[in-house]
Chains A and B, each alone.
Chain A
């Protein structure tokens, strides 16, 4: 290779970034419009652009479940979907689970209350994902036994090891049949 071949021609213009996109999301009942780059994950949109930091970033690779949110009532990993792919969808995060009580005051979701009653966490980092996942599991309607809870909650890792109490908490709300002996 000669010196003249080595020199790359100067760029006529700098590379341009792909266009930003308008993304409409209904998050916890409130319609929101964001200007986002296409590579913004739903998780980053919630945390960095809407400041809803209840949803946690754990592994960012779909392996831990800390980022679990509900999209149109179904639980998914917010780290493995792009916000732009969810355009028009209804998102529920841990911040949106509380329910009005008879007096019109904000009350905890029964799963949230059960996690407190059963001491279903230590450090709490996985807890929003655990709770959203449990609510999603209730919506899905496939739990018959406590074993089903363990299997269908396996996408939520708790490094403190609070699993026993997590299952107890969910069980207290869902009342499944006892495990076969």
Chain B
């Protein structure tokens, strides 16, 4: 680990001001990913701004009937919160499918959004990586890429730059629920729709999200509809617990009898961000739930997907996972 200085922020304004003063500083909350990246020398901040004492630790009701998750609420406290568990079980299950109990006790909701890929080449300073060192190349495309992306890997120049995936389970559920991210920065506050928070690699894979320099996540807002009647979070991985998703599916349906009136499908483990296709979800509107319909939707969700060798199995795995998750959400036998 490189040496660094340390500042404990005593308020949001203080934290943002400290960060504005030192562009190579980083905020630290739970630290479960950042400290690991610092140990590997992948992240080398000159100063850590500790935001753990900021008053962003509560879950509160919002005016429109939803919930506001303070950025510093831990993943565990979120998943086990009575209102989250009751009204947003998709989110609670996704959180509990990720990491370990120890990590969920440390990791915060804001930090979950900010975690970086677990691509092993990104962590390995001995290998080229466009995300870690832009322009150096991607070791995964022609390397061992079992865990890597199959969707959204294109770039404007035509050459694929990065096939890393976003590792979060929580974010897959937040994408399906259409949460919004509240941020504050040197230029004030703004709200980022979840679909616009993370980005595809394009030709700048070093940039994971659309935060502006120095912006701090203060909260994540959940809309009123938590799809608590018909939902499923299906995570497929190499061991039964404590492993990142090879493919995960957050499926949420609004049903009137047998008929689907609204549908959300978000995929994890397949792209640089939680993968949604609202136009494909719309194909389910007005349809009766059936495996045939779900198969058509699964095929459309994977339209344009490309395997890179070791991860080509994900194309079929993802389709089957979508069908199964939708069937679970619709309570088909």
Interface of A toward B, CB cutoff 8 Å: 17-19, 21, 37-39, 41, 60-62, 65, 68, 74-77, 80-82, 84-85, 87, 133, 136-137, 140, 142, 150-156
Contact = CB atoms under 8 A, between A and B. Distances in A.
B102 A133 contact: yes
Contacts of A87: 8
B105 A39 contact: no
Interface in B1-48: 1, 3-6, 8, 28, 30-32, 35-36, 38-39, 48
B101 interface: yes
Interface of B: 1, 3-6, 8, 28, 30-32, 35-36, 38-39, 48, 50, 52, 76, 80, 99-103, 105-106, 240-242
A65 B4 contact: no
A130 to B, nearest CB: 12
Contact of B50 (A17, A37, A85): A85
A163 B48 CA distance: 38
The residue among A21, A37, A38, A41 with the most chain B CB atoms within 10 A of its own CB is A38
A75 B101 contact: yes
B106 A142 contact: no
A60 B39 CA distance: 9
Contact of B28 (A85, A136, A137): A85
B168 to A, nearest CB: 15
A133 B106 contact: no
A137 to B, nearest CB: 7
A38 B6 contact: yes
Given A61-B39, A85-B28, A76 B3 contact: no
Contacts of A81: 30-31, 35, 106
A62 B103 contact: yes
Given A80-B31, A85-B52, A154-B242, A75 B105 contact: yes
Nearest to A79: B35
The residue among B5, B52, B106, B241 with the most chain A CB atoms within 10 A of its own CB is B106
Given A75-B105, A151-B241, A19 B80 contact: no
Contacts of B1: 39
Contacts of B36: 61-62, 80
13 contacts: A18-B3, A37-B3, A38-B4, A41-B35, A61-B36, A65-B100, A65-B102, A75-B101, A77-B106, A85-B50, A136-B102, A150-B240, A155-B101
B103 A155 contact: yes
Given A62-B32, A82-B35, A85-B50, A77 B3 contact: no
Contacts of B38: 39
Contacts of A133: 101-102
A155 B103 CA distance: 8
Nearest to B6: A38
The residue among B8, B31, B38, B102 with the most chain A CB atoms within 10 A of its own CB is B102
A152 B76 CA distance: 12
Contacts of B50: 84-85
A47 to B, nearest CB: 16
B82 to A, nearest CB: 13
Contact of B48 (A38, A80, A156): A38
A152 B99 CA distance: 10
Contacts of B240: 150-151, 154
Nearest to B243: A154
Contacts of B76: 74, 140
A142 B85 CA distance: 13
A82 B31 contact: yes
A39 B30 CA distance: 15
